[in-house]
Structure 1
Amino acid sequence: MSAKEIVQAFYKSDVLLETDSVSKLLHKDVILEWHSTKGFLKLKHQEILDLTTELGKAYVRSKARITHIIEEGNTVAVRYSHYVKTIENPREEMLLANFMVIWELKNNKLYRGYQMSQL
């Protein structure tokens, strides 16, 4: 798979709710630097998996609507809106946030992520 295809697999519908699927796409030394409206987070492998587990408990569906994706070598930039459906109201899709992320890949795995999000 190309770097772009690996990143697309990460953002495929519901993958972000599945810890096993996410784990297969992450490098063991992954680091995600995330600037959000609530502050800065620096997440390592287990912390990303913990976040995935929490998302899986709160939401029944997850969909990333990618508007832009650009690949250059082992680096992929993605702009997307993340929509979810809650357990309480599985028929209503709501916007979780808008994201911009640059992923560097190593050994065909997500290795370094630089992400910004806004509600």
Structure 2
Amino acid sequence: MSAIDIVKAFYDADLANDTSVVSEFFHKDCELHWTSSQGFMLLNYNEIEVFFEGTRKSYDSLRFEFTHLIEAGNTVTTRHTLFANTIENPDVEVVLAHFSAIWEVKDGKLYRCFEISNQADENDSASLKSYSERKI
């Protein structure tokens, strides 16, 4: 599989329910460099497993909408919005955050990611319009 196919398959996986997501998609030596509204985090394989355990406890489903998905060799850049249905309210989908990520693929797995996210504001029409424009 190409790098872009691996990244697409990861985002298409059932991240809210599938316990094998980390072992299937992440390299054992992976690093996730994530800057969010909470600050900077550097997560390794085990910490990513713990993160997804928490995700499975909080969300019924997750869905991603992409505006950009660009491949250059073993690197894939994404710009996307994350939508979710919580365990408490599974019938209502909410927009959680906007992301930009640069993924490096190694040995057919997600190896390194530099990611920036910010909370989505459903009341900011300019922001929502920006993330609804597709440039794929």
Q: Which residue of 2 aligns with 1:60?
A: 60
Superposed CA offset, 1:7-26 (max 9, x none): 00111152354231232110
Q: Which residue of 2 aligns with 1:77?
A: 77
State TM-score, norm by structure 1: 0.95
Q: How well do the aligned residues superpose, as a CA RMSD in angstroms? A: 1.1
Identity over the aligned pairs, expressed in percent? 44
> What amino acid does structure 2 have at the position aligned with 1:50?
V
Superposed CA offset, 1:12-71 (max 9, x none): 152354231232110000000000011000000011111111000111011111121000
What 5-or-longer segments of structure 1 have no aligned partner? none
Q: Which residue of 2 aligns with 1:106?
A: 106
* Pair 1:9-2:9 in alignment: yes
Distance in 2, Cα, partners of 1:107 & 1:32: 17
> What amino acid does structure 1 have at the position aligned with 2:40?
F
Distance in 1, Cα, partners of 2:73 & 2:23: 23
Distance in 2, Cα, partners of 1:81 & 1:2: 23
Indicate how the Cα distance of structure 1 residues 22 and 29 shifts in structure 2: closer, same or farther if over 3 A, else same: same
- In the alignment of these two chains, the number of paired residues is 119
Task: Give the conservation status (yes or no) of the 8 Å contact 1:104–1:113.
Answer: yes
Which structure has more strand as a fraction of its residues? 1
Task: Give the conservation status (yes or no) of the 8 Å contact 1:17–1:62.
Answer: no
Which SS does the other structure have where 1:54 is aligned?
A: helix
What 5-or-longer segments of structure 2 have no aligned partner? 120-136
